[in-house]
Structure 1
Amino acid sequence: MNWNKETEKITKEFTFKNFKEALAFVNQVGDLAENMDHHPDILLHSYKKVTISLTSHSDGKVTEKDHQLASKIDEI
């Protein structure tokens, strides 16, 4: 799991062939997040890059739930 650990979150940038693929990925992450009731910050930028940031907002830190969602995102 190649996620970058920051003070209170983990982040990872994904790069796709084009905007359509990046947007499809964002929608898949959204479905995963809804199913887990755990919502990341998602930034689609530079038309084909997506940066995901995970933290447990209620705890103010990274928890096991963030790592579980990160693993599921990596499987997409």
Structure 2
Amino acid sequence: MPRLTETETSALLTGSAWRREGEAIVRDVNVADFAAAIALVNQVAALAEAADHHPDLLVHGWNNVRLTLSTHSEGGLTDADFRLAAKIDTLL
């Protein structure tokens, strides 16, 4: 799967809750409590397994989750990252 160009990446991020950080897209989510954070991580994990595309997940504080997507094998962003981001967005 080829890397996206800067123009493609910018277009896909327009109007999105995701932001660019280096060679990844990132979304921070604030939820009600720690249990909700873990539940979100588990839901994202199920989507990631189904897509065979795995984000970096960070639970910090007691109710914050940071989701980071990048296609490591391509050294940057691909369509797979944005497809999974869109699926994650349906959870939120």
1:2: how far off? 1.3
In the TM superposition, what whole-angstrom CA distance separates every residue of 1:22-46 from its partner, at most 9, and x where no partner exists?
1100000000000000000000010
d(CA) in 1 for partners of 2:22 and 2:35? Answer: 32
1:9: how far off? 0.2
Runs of 5+ consecutive residues of structure 2 not aligned to the other structure? 1-15
When the two structures are aligned, how many residues end up with a matched partner? 76
Question: What amino acid maps onto 2:70 in structure 1?
Answer: T
d(CA) in 1 for partners of 2:18 and 2:77? Answer: 12
What is the TM-score of this pair, normalised by structure 1?
A: 0.97
d(CA) in 1 for partners of 2:63 and 2:22? Answer: 27
Runs of 5+ consecutive residues of structure 1 not aligned to the other structure? none
**Alignment counterpart, residue 12 of structure 1, candidates 27, 44, 52:** 27
What SS does structure 2 have at the residue aligned with 1:66? Answer: helix
**Alignment counterpart, residue 27 of structure 1, candidates 42, 46, 49:** 42
In the alignment, structure 1 residue 3 sits paired with structure 2 residue 41: no
What is the TM-score of this pair, normalised by structure 2?
A: 0.81
**Alignment counterpart, residue 54 of structure 1, candidates 69, 77, 88:** 69
d(CA) in 1 for partners of 2:71 and 2:61? Answer: 27
Moved runs in structure 1, 4+ residues, more than 2 A?
none
Greater helix share, structure number: 2
What SS does structure 2 have at the residue aligned with 1:11? Answer: strand
Identity rate, percent: 43
The structure with the larger Rg is 2
